[in-house]
Amino acid sequence: MMDYVDIHPHIIADDATRYPRAPLFGKQSDWSQQRPVTIDGLVAAMDAAGVQQAAIVQASTCYGYDNSYVCDAIGPFPGRFAAVGSVDLLAPDATAKIRMWVDRGLAGLRLFTGGSTAAFDTTALDHPDSFAAWSLAGDLGLSICIQTGPVGLTQVAGLAKRFPKVRIILDHLSRPEIDDGAPYAKAAPLFALAAFENIYLKVTPRTTDAVRTGKADPQSFFTKLVAAFGSDRLAWGSNFPASEGTMKENLDRMRADLAFLPEADRRAIFGGTAQRLYPVLAHATVAAP
């Protein structure tokens, strides 16, 4: 049986008084208002899809740097979830905040430089004031996922080189342009990052959408991606409920796109890589729904 670990779902509390909205950039995302999903809703979606575990990523466009809900929500489900939260790495107390959230259950960090509510701004991504926090993440074994576009990839490469102990994960593959089709010359900056062994990629519904644009197609793109990075540096994420569709629909689509790969590669992408990135999941035993 294939184990499925979702590396990129989000949750939104139904109690805005206990968990007030404080979105980065001052604007709450449409998806978090129109189709919010609580932790119970996520569990139901996972059960329906046959997904055993998940690394829940902070909804930065709803809660900003307040990780209270994602940390509180995972408590009743030991072993099933890892919490991935956001901290202002430029703040003077960034290292103290990281330790505080880790004590509350955080297993990874997320840097959000832009997305659905604001254009990407990577000017602070590799600011020296953040280096103490990056160093601490390496010491604590915390993976850091980064929401950026191709504009930030040179900075990501610099961070990967400076902090080799930190596992860096690019949300949505950093949204590369691939409509030119094989050999995907437009995405050369992304493929160049394969040289850094501590850089990992999330394949999400944004990817399955992109491989159907222009001259791109799933088999040629994923063949190149696996050849460059290896399946042990690729991980599936549903982006549920930010992406439209159910978790099961998004998973089924990804399964269809990757069906041509050997089983060992699919096992890594759908579960094994995520458990390496978030060891709390690898050390847990969760009964299949």
At which residue do the structure tokens 């990874």 appear?
Answer: 108
CA 169/CA 89 separation, integer angstroms: 16
Average the pLDDT over 1-26 and give the result: 94
Residue 203's domain is classified under what CATH number? 3.20.20.140
Of the pLDDT bands very low, low, confident and very high (cuts 50, 70, 90), residue 84 is very high
Average the pLDDT over 254-260 and give the result: 97
Joined together, the tokens standing for residue 126 give 């590799």
CA 38/CA 163 separation, integer angstroms: 35
Residue 287 lies in a domain: no
Residue 289 lies in a domain: no
pLDDT, tens digit (0-9, with 9 covering 90-100), for 185-206: 999 999 999 999 999 999 999 9
Say whether pTM exceeds 0.75.
yes
Residue 207 lies in a domain: yes
Number of domains composing the chain: 1
Average the pLDDT over 210-233 and give the result: 98
Q: What is the mean pLDDT of the chain?
A: 94
CB-CB neighbours of 70 under 10 Å = 28
Which range marks the domain in which residue 166 is found?
5-282
Whether residue 83 contacts residue 105, with contact meaning beta carbons closer than 8 Å, is answered with yes
Residue 201 lies in a domain: yes
Of the pLDDT bands very low, low, confident and very high (cuts 50, 70, 90), residue 121 is confident
pLDDT, tens digit (0-9, with 9 covering 90-100), for 138-194: 999 999 999 999 999 999 999 999 999 999 999 999 999 999 999 999 999 999 999
Does the pLDDT value for residue 118 go beyond 70? no
Residue 153 lies in a domain: yes
Q: What is the pLDDT of residue 287?
A: 46
CA 127/CA 247 separation, integer angstroms: 36
CA 146/CA 149 separation, integer angstroms: 9
CA 259, 261, 264 angle in degrees (round to 5)? 115
Residue 254 lies in a domain: yes
Residue 14 lies in a domain: yes
Average the pLDDT over 223-245 and give the result: 97
Q: What is the pLDDT of residue 288?
A: 43
pLDDT, tens digit (0-9, with 9 covering 90-100), for 26-54: 889 999 999 999 999 999 999 999 999 99
Instruction: Answer whether the bond into residue 164 is a cis peptide, omega within 30°.
Output: no
Average the pLDDT over 88-105 and give the result: 97
Residue 288 lies in a domain: no
| Residue 25 C-alpha from the chain's centroid | 20
